[in-house]
Amino acid sequence: MEYKNIQAILFSFLTAVVLAGGRCNPCMAETIFESHWENATNGITREIRYSYTIQNTKPVVLNHAEVFLYAPVKESICQRCLRVEVSSPAKLIVDEEGNQILHFSFDAIPPYGALVLTIKASVFFDSSGLRDRKNPSMKCTKAGPGIECDAPEIQRLALELHDATPDKTARKANDWISRRINDVGYISRSRGALYALRYQKGDCTEQASLFVALCRANGIPARMAGGYFCPANMILSPSSFHNWAEFYDGEGWCLADPSKNAISQQGHDYIAMNVGSPDEGRNPIGIDRRHRVIGDGLTIRMEN
């Protein structure tokens, strides 16, 4: 065997050992965010954990790799993120919507090498009636990708569902979607509000998109939210990812989940990982994605 080949194999082996040590040694956990919420005694705290495997699929060393993952939203409805721990060093980015993005960077991943990134987080849900009251941005009132609130069909239905208050209008829209839009199970690509209305079908994403569009068509600020239905401490899995909506009732943000026909000023069982319509220029993950990788031949998957 040639000397260069022996070098390459030895380098791959040693790097894989280092990476493997990084993914199984709990002492390597690093707290990247911590907040001492003053009302953290008046509510429920959920502990969550989730992991991603990144892999170099090429037979050569990947000299530079970047990974962008979501941590729980810092503040949404009654949700407050208290702490985020990561298994590898990362940089925390917070966009204009309050989304928290974890940025991992690696200098060398060996041929066919793999690394597991684990994130642990504590999320607090206030039960004292306090909720997110930040004024909505202009983006929450306008048409956007998949939120075709200016389409004539959506405008007509919005007019039919209009009621005296934002809350009553939102409840009518939520109920209409729950009864009329057939949930066909997971769809890999988001098809938007207009598709849901025209074909009377979709998954939780289409149902939430239509709700947001109907609210905006009625002058009610609304936005998409994505994350996990989490009624207890749990390990998150890709199959449990869920989309719902949030709307502003004039006093604060409320949760609406047409797929479950649920609407509330609280959201104790929902952990939001992203909200709104991230600006591609400011949020490196972007719209309609759960993560992003940079690196030739680099792949990523969420572990079950």
Please give the pLDDT value at position 119.
98
Instruction: Indicate if the pLDDT at residue 21 is higher than 70.
Output: no
Please give the pLDDT value at position 158.
98
Instruction: Indicate if the pLDDT at residue 25 is higher than 60.
Output: no
The better pLDDT of the pair 41, 276 is held by 276
Domains and CATH numbers, the chain: 3-128+285-302 (2.60.40.2250), 138-265 (3.10.620.30)
Residues whose CB falls within 8 Å of the CB of residue 179, separated by 6 or more in sequence, listed in order: none
Mean pLDDT value across residues 33-39: 77
Supply the pTM of this predicted model: 0.87
Mean pLDDT value across residues 126-144: 86
Mean pLDDT value across residues 59-65: 97
The better pLDDT of the pair 70, 41 is held by 70
Q: What is the CA radius of gyration of the chain?
A: 21
pLDDT tens per residue, range 269-288? 999 999 987 665 678 997 77
Q: Among 47-61, 119-133, 233-247, name the one with the lowest average pLDDT.
A: 119-133
Please give the pLDDT value at position 8.
46
Instruction: Indicate if the pLDDT at residue 54 is higher than 80.
Output: yes
Spell out a b/e string for 112-139, using b for 16 or more CB atoms within 10 Å of the CB, else e: ebbbbbbbbbbbbbbeeeebbeeebeeb
Using pLDDT thresholds of 50, 70 and 90, give the confidence band for residue 24. Answer: very low
Average pLDDT for the chain:
88
